[in-house]
Structure 1
C-alpha cells in the first residue's frame, strides 16, 4: 500500500511566534545541521571537477541500492527518500551540476530497481512520476545551490523559505492544466487552483474554505456507466474512508447549471499525521470530456462499420446495406465486365443527385485525382491477384469540381469454376474527418509555437532580470569600501539607481501589457497639440541618441495638430518608438522624426532609421507581446519585447493605428503612428500647484521583511519624520494605539493578519479610523488596487516606491489633512 505521512514539522503552525516550528521545517527539508553543511561546503570546493560528477553518480546509485535493499521492509513507501537525501547532500557538498546529475541517476535507478524492477516501464504513469520527481528535485537542488552560493544557508529565515516555497508551489499548481485541491478529512480546503474552480463551475474569485460552504449535493457524480454514485463512493470520500489512494477514477459530473456530463479522472491520496489519522488529501482532477466523447464517437463508428460488414457478408440486398450505413454508398462490381451496381448514396457521393445509368471501375478511376490514381489502381490489382480485400483512402473530384475525401472497402467473392467473381463493398465520404484531422494538426502546430514563444519569453525575462543585479551588487561592493562622497561612491550610486530604474521599468512594462489586455487602463484625455507631444518627447530622448552616436533629425508639420488624448500615455508610446530606433541603429546612423497631417483626417508620426532592419518573418508578428527581432544568445540589445506591443495597445485605445515597414535586414525600418485629429478647442492649462512646505509626520511602518522595514525607517527619518516600525499586523495595531501615527505605510502580504485585515481593523477602531493608510505592496494589478481601496486604504503604492514618490504622497496627504 502506498501511503504518505506528513513529517512532524508539518504540524508546526507557520503563524506561531518564534523560530522553533520553522527551524524544524527547514531541518526536515534540508536534513543537515549547520556544522555538517559548513563541512560539506568547505570540503566540496577541494574536490577535483571530474571527481565531483563521479562521486555524485556513486552516491545516487548507492542510495538507490540501499533503498532497493529496504524494499522487503518498506515496500513502495517513499521510494525516492534515500536518493533525494543523497541529491541534497551532493548539491550542498559538490554544487548544482553534480546535484542535478545525481538527481537524474537516482531517479532512474529507483525506477529500475524499486518501482519498475527490474527495468523501467515505458508508460504514462512512469513518465508522469519521473517528471514530477525530476521537477521537484530540480527546484530543491536550485534552491540549495542558491543558498550555498550566497553563503546564507546557515542563517536563512525558515519562515521566508516557507513563504517562497508556498509561492513557488502555488505558481506551479496554477500553471498546470488540471484541477488541484488540498482538503482535510473534515472537508476544509487549504489549497486549490483556478482550474479546479472552473471545472466545477465556480466563480474565479470564489473563496471556498469548506465543502459545506456550498451545497455540494447540487453536483451529481456518475459512474462510467452513467449510474448516480453514492456519496461514499465519490473518489475523495472513498480515499478518506478506506485510507487508500484512489488513482484516476473516471466519473461524470453534472454541474448545477445542467447540461451534459463533464468527465473527469480524479485521484486522491491521503496524507497521514503522526497519530496515523488522515490529516489531508491531495486531489487532482483531469478533464477528459473530449477524450471520452472521442472514444464514444470512435466506438460508435467502429460499431457501425462492424454492423455494415456483417450485413454485407449476410446479404446482397444493397438497399438494406445502404440504409444501415450513414453517408455511405454500396457497390457491387462484376470483375469480368468492370460494371457495377450501386446504391443511390454511392452516386451522390460523386456529385450525381440522380443515379447514372451505368458505372464502371474506369469511371471511378476518372473521378480519382491524378495524384492518388496510381496508388488506388495498384491496390485494386493486388486485391484481384491475391483474391483479398480492397481498402483505401483517396481524394475524388466530384461532378461539380469539388474535391472530397472518401474511404472505400471491398470484399472479394470468388465466382464458380475459377471465374473472376465479384467484389462488393462500400464507399464513405470522410471529408469532414480529414478536415478535423488537419485542424487538429494545425492546432498542435499553434500550440507548439505558443509554447516556443513562452519558453523564449521566460528565458529572456530571466536574462533581463538578472542583468541589472550584477552592476547593483558591484556597486554595493564599491560603496562598502569607498570613501563617502568620493567619485567612486558617486559612480556606484549612479549605477545602482540606473539599474534599479531598469528593473522597475521592466515590471511596469509587464503591468502595462496586462492592463491593456484586460482593458484596465483609463485614459486622462484632454486637447493636445501632437506636434508638442512629439517635440517634448524627442528632447527628452535626445541625450540617448547623442550617447550612442546616432544622428537625430526632426521635421514638424506646420500649424497645430489637435488631438484628444492622454499626454502621458502618448509620450510613452512615442518614447518607445524613439527608444526602439536608437537601440537598433548603429553609431553613425541616422533617425528622422517627422509629423504630418494626412488626408484621412489624421495626424501621422514617422520614425525612420537606417539601422538593422526587420526580416519579413519577424515583421508579421512585430507588435505581439514578447516579440523581438534580436533572439540571439548574447541579447546585446536587451528588453522583453514589450515596447512595440505597448505602443500598439496605447495607440489603438486612442482610436489610432501603428504600422511598420522594412525592406529587410540591414536596410533600416520605418514606423508610422496615426491618430485621429480633434477639432475641439485646446483645453486651458491647469495653474501650477505651488510646492508644499516640508512636512514632518508621525509615520508607522508595518512590514514583515526586516530589511525593507528598517531601510524605509531610515529613509523617513532622513526626511525628518518621526517613525515607528512593526513587523506584523497585530504588532502594528498595538503600536498604532500607543504611537498615534498620522500615516501608516502597510505591506499587504503580512503573515497571520494580512494588510487587508489590518486596514479593516484600523477603520473599525474609532481611535484609529482617521489615520491615513497607504498600501505599500508588490501586488499592483488593477484588481489589487480595487481590493485595497475596498479594505480601507487611502492610497496604494507599488513596490519599489521611490523616495521622491513617498515624500510627494506624504506632502499631498498633509495638504489634504
Structure 2
C-alpha cells in the first residue's frame, strides 16, 4: 500500500473518531492544567493537524491544551525555541524533508529532553521507530492505529518522561558538580594539611637546634646564650601565632568572634604593630614612612584586635617588599565619621584578578612570589573577619604597573572623652585574698615539664608550690593543706579541671586559674561558670601567668 492511501485512511479514521462522543481518558500523569499545555503540531496536512487538535481537546478538560501549528521543516526549529512547546507532534513525512531531519537538528541543540517529541507516521516500520527513538523521540505512533485516548495518553506520557528525564539530568549534573567540589575540597584539605605540617614544623627546627647548642658544655658566652634564647622565643611565638590564627578563623567562620570596642588611638596601635615587626623590617632594610593626617586619631575598636590587623598588614608588606623598599602608613579623615588607614608598599603588587581572592581563607595567591613565600593564607582572611566584627572595612588596591600594593582599613571614628577609659573588670572581691606574705599555690598539671615551668615562676614570685597530677590527688592535697590558690589544667588523666574545682569549693572556696589548650569562647565560658577566676590559653608565658596570679592574689582593699 502506498503512502498516500495510508494517509487517506488515517484522515478518514480521525474524522470518524472526531464525530464520536468518547469519554475523556484520565492519565495518571496528567495534572490540573494551569497554565495549559502548549502543543506544536508539525504536519504538512491541514486536516491531520486539525484532527490532532480535536483528539486532544476531546480527551481533556476544556482549556487543557493550546496549539501552535506549522507545516514544514523550514523555520520549525526557530519556532520551537520561540514558542517553547510542552510537546511536539511531528509527522514523519513533510513536503520539504523528514521528521528525522528535524529530530537531528533538535538533538544537536541538546533540546530533545526540553521539548518532547511524539512521531506520527503512516507506516508501522520497526526500523523507523528504532531510528527516531534513538535520536530522541519520546514515542512513536502509527496513524491508522490512533485513537483519541491513545494520543492523549501518549502526549501526557511524553511530557512526563521528558520532565522526569530533565529532572534526572539536572540531578546527574548536580551530582557531578558536588563530586567535583568534593574532589577540589579534598585536594584543598590535603594541601592545607601539608602546608600546616610544614608551617608548624618550620619553627621547631631552630628551636631544637638551639636546645642542642645549649646542651654543649662549651656554650658559656652570654651574648651567644642571649641570641639562642631570642631564637627560641621568636620561633615559639611564631608557633603560637599560627595556632591563634587557626582559632581566630574558626571563631570568625562561626560568627563567634567578640571584640571589646572602646576609644583607641590608632597611632598607638600602629606604633605597637611596628614594634612587633621591627626585626623583619630591619632585616630587609625597609624604610618606614608615617603620614598621619587624620584630625582625630581616636577610633572605636578593640586595641588588641586592631593591633593584630595592622601586624598582619605590616608583616605582609614586609614579606613582599624587596630590600631597601618603602612601606608608607598614612591616616586621613574619610568623612561621615570614618577614619581610613592606608598601608602601602613598594613590593611586587597584586594582580587585579586576585584583589578580592586574597581575603579568602587559605588563599596564598597564585603568583610565583606568593607561592615562594608560602604560609597558610590565613592572615588577610582574619583581618577581614576582624574588620567586619568592628563594622569596618578592609580592601586592597594595586599599582597597575605591578609596583606596590596598598591595604586600606576603614574604622568608625570615636569622639574624644574627658573621662578615662574604664579598666577591665577586676575579679570579684570574694576571689581575692587578704594581704599577707607568701602564698601556698597548688598546681594541678599532669605534664611534667609544664608543671616544672609553672613552679619556677610561682617560686620566683615568692610563693610556695604543691603539685598534683590528677583530680583525685588534688582533692587529697587540698584537704590536708591550707592551699591559698589553685592553678589547674583543664585536661587531666581522671577528669577535668571544671569537674575538680566544684569539689574543691565544696571543701573551701579559693581563687583559681584555668589552663587549657582550648581557647574558644565556649571553653572560656565553661571555665568561668565552673568557678575559675580566669582562663589562660596555652602556650602560657611567664608574663601571662604572673599577671593572672598577681590579679587574684592582690590584697583586698582596706575598709574605710
Contact 2:439 2:484 in 1 (8 A): yes
Q: Secondary structure at the match of 2:306?
A: helix
| CA deviations over 1:276-307 (Å, ceiling 9, x no partner) | xxxxxxxxxxxxxxxxxxxxxxxxxxxxxxxx
Q: Distance in 2 between matches of 1:484 and 1:737?
A: 46
1:795 aligns with 2:534: yes
User: For residue 408 of structure 1, what is the aligned residue in structure 2?
Assistant: 117
| Larger mean Cα displacement after TM superposition, 323-332 or 453-462 | 323-332
Q: 1:707 to 1:340 in 2, by over 3 A?
A: farther
| CA deviations over 1:165-212 (Å, ceiling 9, x no partner) | xxxxxxxxxxxxxxxxxxxxxxxxxxxxxxxxxxxxxxxxxxxxxxxx
Shift of 1:539: 5.2
Q: Distance in 2 between matches of 1:696 and 1:760?
A: 25
Contact 1:776 1:797 in 2 (8 A): yes
Q: Distance in 2 between matches of 1:338 and 1:500?
A: 90
| CA deviations over 1:432-467 (Å, ceiling 9, x no partner) | 666665555554444444433333322221111111
User: For residue 264 of structure 2, what is the aligned residue in structure 1?
Assistant: 528
- How many residue pairs match? The answer is 480
Q: 2:213 aligns with which of 478, 487, 492?
A: 478
Give ranges in structure 2 of 5+ residues lacking alignment: 1-16, 58-63, 83-87, 130-140, 144-150, 425-434
Contact 2:363 2:377 in 1 (8 A): yes
Q: Secondary structure at the match of 1:405?
A: coil
1:783 aligns with 2:522: yes
Contact 1:396 1:406 in 2 (8 A): no
Q: 1:319 to 1:469 in 2, by over 3 A?
A: farther
Contact 2:42 2:69 in 1 (8 A): no
Q: Secondary structure at the match of 1:592?
A: strand
Shift of 1:478: 0.6
Q: Distance in 1 between matches of 2:68 and 2:186?
A: 53
Q: 1:730 to 1:642 in 2, by over 3 A?
A: same
Q: Distance in 2 between matches of 1:512 and 1:710?
A: 30
Q: Distance in 1 between matches of 2:482 and 2:514?
A: 18
| TM-score, reference length from structure 1 | 0.51
User: For residue 509 of structure 1, what is the aligned residue in structure 2?
Assistant: 245
User: For residue 78 of structure 2, what is the aligned residue in structure 1?
Assistant: 366
Contact 1:319 1:343 in 2 (8 A): no
User: For residue 429 of structure 2, what is the aligned residue in structure 1?
Assistant: none
1:677 aligns with 2:413: yes
Q: How do residues 646-657 of structure 1 correspond to structure 2 at under 5 angstroms? A: 646-657=382-393
Q: 1:710 aligns with which of 448, 452, 455?
A: 452
1:804 aligns with 2:543: yes
Q: Secondary structure at the match of 1:355?
A: strand
Q: Secondary structure at the match of 1:406?
A: coil
Shift of 1:583: 1.1
Shift of 1:542: 4.4
Q: 1:679 to 1:774 in 2, by over 3 A?
A: closer
| TM-score, reference length from structure 2 | 0.72
CA RMSD of aligned residues (A): 4.5
User: For residue 598 of structure 1, what is the aligned residue in structure 2?
Assistant: 334
| CA deviations over 1:539-575 (Å, ceiling 9, x no partner) | 5544532221222212111522442222222222122
Q: Distance in 2 between matches of 1:468 and 1:779?
A: 21
Contact 1:606 1:673 in 2 (8 A): yes
Contact 1:729 1:758 in 2 (8 A): yes
User: For residue 452 of structure 1, what is the aligned residue in structure 2?
Assistant: 187
Q: How do residues 201-600 of structure 1 correspond to structure 2 at under 5 angstroms? A: 320=25, 324-325=29-30, 340=49, 342=52, 354-356=66-68, 360-362=72-74, 364-368=76-80, 405-410=114-119, 414=123, 426=155, 428=159, 430=163, 441-482=176-217, 483-484=219-220, 486-538=222-274, 540-600=276-336
Q: Secondary structure at the match of 1:746?
A: strand
Q: Distance in 2 between matches of 1:469 and 1:756?
A: 32
Give ranges in structure 1 of 5+ residues lacking alignment: 1-314, 371-375, 398-402
Q: Distance in 1 between matches of 2:337 and 2:457?
A: 52
Q: Distance in 2 between matches of 1:344 and 1:396?
A: 31
Q: 1:496 to 1:332 in 2, by over 3 A?
A: same
| CA deviations over 1:207-261 (Å, ceiling 9, x no partner) | xxxxxxxxxxxxxxxxxxxxxxxxxxxxxxxxxxxxxxxxxxxxxxxxxxxxxxx
Q: 1:357 to 1:611 in 2, by over 3 A?
A: closer
Q: Distance in 1 between matches of 2:525 and 2:411?
A: 31
Q: 1:324 to 1:473 in 2, by over 3 A?
A: closer
- Report which structure shows greater RCO (CA 8 Å, sep ≥6): 2
Q: Distance in 1 between matches of 2:106 and 2:511?
A: 79
| Larger mean Cα displacement after TM superposition, 496-505 or 607-616 | 607-616
| CA deviations over 1:492-544 (Å, ceiling 9, x no partner) | 22211111111111111122222233333433222234344335544554453
